[in-house]
């Protein structure tokens, strides 16, 4: 006999799964980026780490805070933290990507980075869609925003993957910094949306 899990508990589980996945793949991407100098991997990896931090607050929000009455306050805190983090990351990537294009400094190619991006593209769509559907059911703006953060991780993984593949197959020195600038634009948009919704 199947047990019917309350929507809030399902949301907490999904956010917990997001935390675990993003910490693993995000940390691996940042570590690979530190070795290779890939700006697009840094953007993708840090986005995953920030997404996991927001999701960790939502685990609390749909668990303990759901009962204790602090849910709404936690939602605002999570959105504001995400907005600030994305804005800072976007600024960093914009500066470093521009500098890399001007100085012709390029990253090393990384097969491991390509595997990380492909893995993200395989897992993140399920998490994003499941959280979005639950956000509609629970009428939670923050869970919807978190689902969009996860969805943006799909876009960032795709951009990073394209940049890494172009660099590896064509030897293009500008592929990675251009991918980083695209990621910076996406993150700045995310930061703006998160800050607007938190207020």
Residues 20-50: pLDDT tens digits?
998 999 899 889 888 888 888 888 888 888 8
Percentage, residues of the chain above pLDDT 70: 90
Helix locations, 69-174, DSSP H: 71-103, 111-138, 141-170
Report whether pLDDT(164) > 60. Answer: yes
How many Å apart are CA 124 and CA 71, to the nearest integer? Answer: 25
pTM here?
A: 0.79
Check: CB of residue 10 under 8 Å from CB of residue 134: yes
| pLDDT of 114 above 80 | yes
DSSP for residue 107: P
For the chain, domain boundaries: 7-198
Q: Which of 33-37, 92-96, 130-134 ranks highest by mean pLDDT?
A: 130-134
**Using an 8 Å Cβ cutoff, are 194 and 82 in contact?**
yes
Q: What is the pLDDT of residue 125?
A: 94
For position 66, what pLDDT does the model report? 52
Q: Which CATH number is 7-198's, of 1.20.1510.10, 3.40.190.10, 3.40.50.300, 3.40.1360.10?
A: 1.20.1510.10
């Amino acid at each position: 006999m199947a047990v019917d899990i309350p929507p809030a508990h399902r949301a907490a589980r999904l956010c917990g799964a997001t935390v675990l996945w993003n910490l693993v793949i995000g940390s691996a991407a940042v570590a690979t980026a530190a070795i290779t100098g890939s700006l697009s991997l840094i953007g993708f990896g840090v986005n995953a780490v920030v997404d996991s931090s927001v999701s960790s607050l939502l685990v609390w929000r749909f668990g303990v805070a759901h009962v204790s009455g602090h849910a709404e306050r936690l939602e605002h805190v999570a959105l504001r933290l995400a907005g600030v983090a994305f804005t800072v990351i976007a600024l960093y990537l914009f500066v470093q990507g521009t500098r890399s294009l001007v100085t012709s400094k390029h990253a090393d190619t990384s097969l491991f980075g390509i595997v990380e991006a492909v893995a993200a593209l395989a897992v993140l769509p399920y998490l994003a869609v499941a959280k979005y559907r639950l956000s509609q059911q629970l009428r939670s703006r923050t869970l919807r925003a978190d689902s969009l953060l996860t969805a943006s991780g799909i876009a960032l993984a795709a951009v990073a993957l394209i940049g890494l593949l172009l660099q590896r197959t064509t030897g293009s020195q500008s592929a990675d910094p251009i991918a980083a600038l695209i990621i910076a634009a996406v993150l700045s948009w995310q930061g703006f949306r998160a800050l607007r919704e938190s207020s």
